[in-house]
Amino acid sequence: MSEDRRLAVLRAIVEDYVQTREPVGSRVLVERHGLNVSPATIRNDMAALEEAGYIAQPHTSAGRVPTDKGYRLFVDRLSTVKALSAPEKRAIESFLEDAADLDDVVDRSVRLLAQLTQQVAVVQYPSLRHSAMRHLELVPVAERRLLVVIITDTGRVEQRTLEVAETPSDAVVAELRARLNAVATGRRLVELISALEDVPEAFAPVDRPLVRTVIQMIEETLAQEREERIVLAGTANLARGGAMDFPHTLSPVLEALEEQVVLLRLLTEMAEDSMGVAVRIGHETQHEGLLETSFVTTGYGGDGDAVARIGSLGPTRMDYPGTIAAVRAVARYLSRILAG
């Protein structure tokens, strides 16, 4: 059996099964796809694919369905990704560009991706570790209280109220604000701690405790794992496929989705897998509740160094080319908005 023909048969089985939800037989392959070989040859190819573990027969006298291994080979050999239509592209652009702030951008992105894929959309908030400082603000809000506001280049805003021993003068607050912004603006947040070390020495000894307290507050904020936050949309889409997609019931999948630590682990691992689009299929998720799902993700918001990831999770019977195209497109527009 030729390698190219075997891949063509597997590709046809995957495409038909994704579209129809029905096991695919040799006669259907001959009728629908221009494979230019006899039904007997197709049956031999299917037998070889089954022996190799790429397809399986769900029950006697039925056609074949792809296995996780078969989907993996299909995805790895994808030569083209389904292009989004012009109306879809315009809809993405207009829907996201009207967003008011970061929370609105993330909310719109996750709802839009769920609508495009008819699956579960997952958007991770921009990570503080990968963001740069855009501005730092100090605002006296009451006697002996300062509001510290950190604004990143991704539009993320962190606010902390700081109790100080004595009410600082307006001049000291203004100077501290100016020096902190001079040191911090444009720097990656992970670089700030060392950059801020020398700032207290620029102030009079009497003011240094205040300066150190503010810097400690900034460092504590950056050290927190508040960036580990994700937003989901489209969970109800999983029920559309019914028992065909989730023969062992949908409950384990929903339970896994509720455990955000599971998705965060997957997002982190998939970021290490690939700088571009990463795909985990079935058992590759390494979580019992997600064994009947696939997860397609990519990074967004950075030039070669993404600040977070966006993705789509659905049954292994997934339109992989279409899902990859939708995830890429939304990530691209999301990155453009955050950069602007």
* One domain for residues 114 and 150: no
* One domain for residues 185 and 314: no
Q: Of 169, 190, 223, which closes a domain? A: 223
CATH code of the domain in which 173 resides: 3.30.390.60
CATH code of the domain in which 28 resides: 1.10.10.10
Residues in CB range of 207: below 8 A, 6 or more apart: 168, 172
* One domain for residues 142 and 191: yes
Q: What is the residue range of 249's domain?
A: 86-127+227-339
Query: What are the backbone dihedrals phi and psi of residue 325, each rounded to the nearest 5 degrees, phi first?
Result: -65, -45
- pLDDT averaged per 10 residues in sequence order, the chain, 340 residues: 84 93 88 82 92 89 90 90 83 81 87 95 80 85 88 79 87 92 82 85 91 87 67 91 75 89 90 84 93 94 76 95 94 83
* One domain for residues 326 and 261: yes
Tally of CB atoms within 10 A around 185: 13
How distant, in Å, are the alpha carbons of 7, 15, 42, 317 from that of 70? 10, 12, 16, 11
Give the amino acid at 217.
M
Number of folded domains in the chain? 3
* One domain for residues 217 and 253: no
Q: Of 200, 223, 246, which closes a domain? A: 223
* One domain for residues 145 and 239: no
Closest C-alpha among 248, 293, 297 to residue 269: 297
pLDDT of residue 157: 79
**Predicted TM-score (pTM) of this structure:** 0.78
In a domain, 249, yes or no: yes
